[in-house]
Amino acid sequence: MSPDSSITERIRSLVPGSATALRLNPREYADDYFAVLQAIFREPPPGDATHMVFISVTNPVALVWSIAQALDVPPERISFVDAISRTMMSYREPLPNSTYVESPRMLETIMLRVDYLLRRVAGARPLVVIDSVNSLGIHNPNQLLSEFFHILGNNLKSRQAMTLLLLVSDDPTSELDQMVNLVVDETIEVVRPRG
C-alpha cells in the first residue's frame, strides 16, 4: 500500500523550525503508522541534505530500521534514539546508528541524546520524529511531559529542526491532544484512502 501522497507532500513542505503533529486513527493504527513511516522515509528531493533523528518510544528501533531498510533509506540519513527496547526486553544487538535509553521515563537523557546526534550531523537539515506522544504519556505524568515538549520543542526550533510528533487519537479535546496543540504549529490528520 502506498502512502497518501498528500501526507508525503505535506511532510516535504515543512519549513525549518516547524513542529507538526501527525494524528493517527487508533482504529486504523497499524495501516496509518506504516503509511506515515512510508511518507517520512520517502526519498528526499535531489540535493536535499536532511538527516532524521527518530525517537522510538512505541516500537523497538530494530522494527523501524527494518522498515527504513525496506524503503531503501541510506543509513547515513537516519539516527535513532531508542527508549523502548530495553523496557520491552527486546534489546539484542545494538544498531550502529542508534543510541539506547533505559526507559521512556528518562526524558532528560532523551533530550541530551537528541542534542548529541544533531551536533554530530551539523550542516544537515535536521528532522526529528517522536514516535509517539501516547507512549511517552503512558510512562510520564502530564506536567513533566508538557515541560519536556516545551524544552525540547524550543531547543529544536532554535536549531531550525523540523519536528514531527506522532499522536494516536480520535478525540481532539483529550488532555494529550491539548498538550500537543500548545507545542505544534499544525496538526495533520492522517486520512488514507479506505477501501
| Residue 194 within a domain | no
Pair 61, 82: CB distance under 8 Å? yes
In which domain, by residue range, is 130 found? 5-9+17-189
Predicted confidence at residue 2, as pLDDT, reads: 45
> Is 70 exceeded by the pLDDT of residue 167?
yes
- Tens digit of each residue's pLDDT (9 = 90 or more) over 49-68: 889 999 999 999 989 999 99
Within-domain flag for 38 = yes
Residue pair 167/180 in contact by the 8 Å Cβ criterion: yes
Query: Residue 144's domain is classified under what CATH number?
Result: 3.40.50.300
- Number of domains within the chain: 1
pLDDT in tens, 70-110: 988 888 899 999 999 877 666 667 788 899 999 999 999 99
What is the per-residue pLDDT for 95? 82
Tell me whether residue 121 is in a domain. Answer: yes
Residue 195 domain-assigned (yes or no): no
* Cα gap 160→67, rounded to integer Å: 27
Which one is predicted more confidently, 81 or 194? Answer: 81
DSSP helix/strand/coil, 127: strand
Q: The pTM is what?
A: 0.91
Q: Does some domain include residue 163?
A: yes
- DSSP secondary structure code for residue 128 in this structure: E
What pLDDT was estimated at residue 42? 78
1 pLDDT above the threshold of 50 = no
CA-to-CA distance for 21 and 130, rounded, in angstroms?
9
